[in-house]
Structure 1
Amino acid sequence: MQKSIMRKSLHRTVAVAFVCTTTVLSSACSSTEKPAAVRQADAVVVHEQWVKAVDSGMTAAFAELENSSDAPVRVVGASTPASSRMELHEIVSGDSGSMVMRPKEGGFVIPAGASHVLSPGGDHLMLMDVTAPLTPGLSTEFTLEFEDHSTATFAAQVRDFAGAQENYEPGGGDSHAAHDAPSAPAHSG
């Protein structure tokens, strides 16, 4: 009888140990925790950044935004101490057929593993109210805000650039004040 009790006790101990081990392994293998997502700002590298020199008013900044992640990222805002207000802009054909710039609805999408170029005559960062002259040779800091609320900061060199006249169309409606928006820069090597 003693052997029978010991055998039953041993079977229970083995069964409990098996159930506990199986439960622990099952929990570990089927964990619902996802790996930490990469902050969008950490996935973007800024290249070839510069801003057009200006004494006052409006100007624009340009760069190549490279996304090193395997998911698209979206720039939804920008700021700089050099301007009291900034907008993300695109250039489109206006009602009159002339090229106009206006705020880019939804921001700039940078595809996975690709780049989005901010260039004269295309998408750009628009400094709406420059707070002090931007003189060639200086640099100024910019902060990009991404859809996930992360931010990335970079410095851009101020350069002389003779740009074309484009109209500003704030809400995609009537054309407002024209300003000196850059077109294509001279290749500097």
Structure 2
Amino acid sequence: MHIGIARRLAALSTIAAFALIGCAEAEDAAEDHAPIQESGALAIADPWIKATDTEMTGVFGTIENTGDEPLRIVAADAELAGMVELHETITQSDGSSVMQEVEGGFTIPAGEELALEPGGNHIMLMDLDREILPGDEIVVTVTTADGAEHEFTAQAKEYTGAQETYAPDSEHGDHGGH
């Protein structure tokens, strides 16, 4: 009978240890994510930029409209880019995908989110004046239809998913690789 109790206590101790390890890993994972950056009715979660040694790259994250009215982002800017555009990826009739500038900007309904992600909507930085290394922090400013400017900082990271190609010899508006 004492052996059964000892086994139960050992099993409970093992379960408790694994639970504590799981909590610690969840805490570490949460710390890896950038905090939400807020400006007026705009909040951006996990903003990041693809590290690059070419003249183009994309900015990604999730933009939330925390206001009561639709929010339209009409422009963006970053100090190290000679040109910045709001892009979408579309599928052409032949099945290929291309990037193009979004006509009229990104509209986010009240209380909703817009995902900026590789292979989808994103902020395109072109004519970069330097390479962007993993860990670099790049300040990006978006302008809404009412003229308000909202600034956030995106951290650069290596990213090979979606196998995007931001080739400097591509025409802007159709950057290939999508």
Q: Is TM more than 0.5 here?
A: yes
User: What's the secondary structure of 2:95's corresponding residue?
Assistant: coil
Structure 2 residue ranges without an equivalent (≥5): 1-38
Larger deviation, residues 45-54 vs 162-171: 162-171
The structure 2 residue matched to 1:112, chosen from 110, 113, 119, is 110
Distance (Å, rounded) in 2 between the aligned partners of 1:116 and 1:125: 12
Report the counterpart of residue 88 of structure 2 in structure 1. 90
Is the alpha carbon distance of 1:47 and 1:95 closer, same or farther for their aligned partners in structure 2, counting shifts above 3 Å? same
The CA RMSD over aligned residues, in Å, is 2.0
CA change 1:70–1:79 in 2 (3 A) is: same
Counting only pairs closer than 5 Å after superposition, residues 106-185 of structure 1 correspond to structure 2 as 106-162=104-160, 163-165=162-164, 170=172, 178=176
Asked whether the equivalents of residues 100 and 166 of structure 1 are also in contact (C-alpha less than 8 Å), the reply is: no
The residue number in structure 1 matching 2:50 is 52
Match of 1:76 in 2: 74
Q: Give distance in 1, aligned partners of 2:121 and 2:176.
A: 17
Alignment pair present for 1:101 and 2:126 = no
Aligned AA (1:59): T
Cα offset, 1:170, TM superposition: 4.6
Query: Which of these residues, 45, 52, 59, is aligned with residue 61 of structure 1?
Result: 59
| Whole-angstrom CA distance in 1 between matches of 2:115 and 2:68 | 18
Give unmatched runs, 5+ long, in structure 1.
1-40, 182-189
CA distance in 2: counterparts of 1:142 and 1:49, whole angstroms: 10
- Aligned-residue offset at 1:49: 0.1
d(CA) in 2 for partners of 1:147, 1:137: 31
SS where residue 56 of structure 1 aligns? Answer: coil
The 1:44/1:119 distance shift into structure 2, 3 A limit, reads: same
Contact 1:89 1:104 (8 Å CA) reproduced: yes
Letter in 2 for 1:54: T
Whether contact under 8 Å (2:99, 2:176) holds in the other structure is no
CA positional deviation for 1:94: 2.1
Distance in structure 2 (CA, Å) of the matches to 1:154 and 1:165:
24
Measure how far apart 1:131 and its partner are: 1.0
* Compared CA separation, residues 93 and 169, structure 1 to 2 (3 A): farther
Give the SS at the match of 1:64: strand
Deviation per CA, 1:23-73: give whole Å up to 9, x if none: xxxxxxxxxxxxxxxxxx610011110000011211100011111111100
The structure that has the greater radius of gyration is 1
For residues 152 and 57 of structure 2, the distance between their equivalents in structure 1, rounded to whole angstroms, comes to: 17
What's the TM-score once normalised by structure 1's chain length?
0.66
Contact 2:50–2:57 (8 Å) recurs in 1: yes
Provide the identity percentage.
36
Q: Deviations over 1:5-32 (max 9, x none)?
A: xxxxxxxxxxxxxxxxxxxxxxxxxxxx
